Amino acid sequence: MVIRSIARAKINLVLNVLGKRPDGYHEVETVMQSVALHDRLEFSPGTGGIKLSVAGGDIPPGKENLVYRAAELVRTQTGIRQGVNVLIKKAIPVAAGLGGGSADAAATLVALNKMWQTGYSLSELMRLGEQLGADVPFCLLGGTALAGGKGEQLEPLPSCPGLGLVLVKPPIGVSTAEVYRAFRPELVEKKPDCRAMVKNLKEGNIAGIVENLANALEPVTMKMHPQIAVIKKKLLAAGALGALMSGSGPTVFGLARDPEAARAIAARYDKTYEQVLVTGTCNRGTQIE
Ligand code: ATP
């Protein structure tokens, strides 16, 4: 039996950093949105523990991989000793602010729950996922959600209008931990307002959504990598309604009214220096095929 799963990326439509917690993590408030761009994972029963193979992306194939850690977590939680072979077909850019590792971890939890018939409910899987990364519970839930805490406390929101997205990733990887370390409240120029974003999402008001795009981490990563400001300008010049860095970056997304408008923006965008992907918002996260 082969189980195939789809692991969708995410963007942050708004992200606010509220302060540092006693455990060293930062308290965030963010509106997360699933996007259609996804990795594909294939799981088949194996005999020799957890074995990974990776196609199409530069990620570790061993114990450091979040897929390995997710599978190991299910095995230790349940005492299951069965092995599994996993093929990860990577399409989400790595270390990009698009939550690719978290999405793969979420897809692993869902697939192994089915393969090993462990019977976890979605909320139980979300609690397990928290141990792997703050974005994993969101990837399991999918759609549109307001997140608090480290990002793991979720409140589902009504679906975002189906928007087109142009994702632009410069040829650099960013360490999320390093960006949070360099965060200073005084760097933030446009104060992220999650409440206003939620209101506009509920109303399906695209102009309001665009107006409220804001990310407190953007100026931090931008200081390290000034080309992020250039990408934003280029996306707007190519016709994007708005543009914002996702998560800790460096990927910048440009919003468009629909996927066709996103394709037109991407066609106008000079791709000499950056990877450009066309996708759209999606109301599902992780999914078994
Ligand atoms: P986040 O915003 O959740 O920090 P990100 O999009 O910035 O995520 P990822 O693509 O998840 O970054 O990768 C972060 C790091 O995790 C990379 O250094 C990568 O080597 C490691 N990693 C481990 N497993 C995976 C995986 N399955 N897919 C992608 N990265 C992985």
Q: What is the pLDDT of residue 265?
A: 98
pLDDT reading at 152 higher than 90: no
The confidence band for 217, taking pLDDT boundaries of 50, 70 and 90, is very high
Query: What is the DSSP secondary structure assignment for residue 277, as one 8-state letter?
Result: E
- Please, what are the domains in the chain? 3-157 (3.30.230.10), 164-280 (3.30.70.890)
- Residue 145 makes CB contacts below 8 A (sequence gap 6+) with 31, 32, 138, 154, 155, 156, 157
Distance (Å) from CA 275 to ligand 1 centroid: 17
Distance from the alpha carbon of residue 42 to the mean position of ligand 1, in angstroms: 18
If we measure between CA atoms, which residue out of 99, 177, 89 comes closest to residue 140? 99
Say what the pLDDT of residue 21 is.
84
Mutate to test the pocket of ligand 1, among 38, 52, 59, 139 (most ligand atoms within 8 A of CB): 59
Task: Indicate the pLDDT class of residue 24, thresholds 50, 70 and 90.
Answer: confident
pTM of the model: 0.96
Query: Does the pLDDT at position 221 exceed 90?
Result: yes
Instruction: Give the atom of ligand 1 at the shortest distance from the alpha carbon of 98.
Output: 6
pLDDT tens digits along 57-102: 889 999 999 999 999 999 999 999 999 999 999 999 999 999 999 9
How far apart CA 84 and CA 261 sit, in angstroms, is 42
Helix (H, G, I), strand (E, B) or coil at 91: coil
CA distances from 174 to 5, 61, 80, 100, 152 (A): 27, 20, 36, 13, 21
Q: Could you give the residue numbers annotated as active site?
A: 10, 135
160 or 42, higher pLDDT: 42
At residue 270, the pLDDT reads: 92
Listed residue (105, 103, 121) closest to 113, CA to CA: 121
Quick one: CA torsion of 137, 140, 143, 146, rounded to 10 degrees? -10
List all residues whose CB is within 6 A of at least one atom of ligand 1: 59-60, 64-67, 88, 94-102, 104, 133, 135, 176, 247-248
pLDDT for the residue numbered 208: 97
16 CA distance to ligand 1 middle (Å): 21
Q: Where are the alpha helices (DSSP H) in 153-288?
A: 176-182, 194-203, 206-211, 218-224, 227-237, 259-268
pLDDT at 122: 97
Percent of the chain with pLDDT over 90: 91
- Over residues 95-135, the pLDDT tens digits come to 999 999 999 999 999 999 999 999 999 999 999 999 999 99
Note the pLDDT of residue 78.
Answer: 95
Residue 20: pLDDT over 90: no
Q: What is the pLDDT of residue 57?
A: 85
**173 C-beta neighbours (distance < 10 Å), count:** 14
Name the region of 17 (left: φ>0; alpha: ψ -120 to 50; beta: rest): beta
Condensed to tens digits (0 to 9), the pLDDT of residues 250-289 reads 999 999 999 999 999 999 999 999 999 999 999 999 999 9
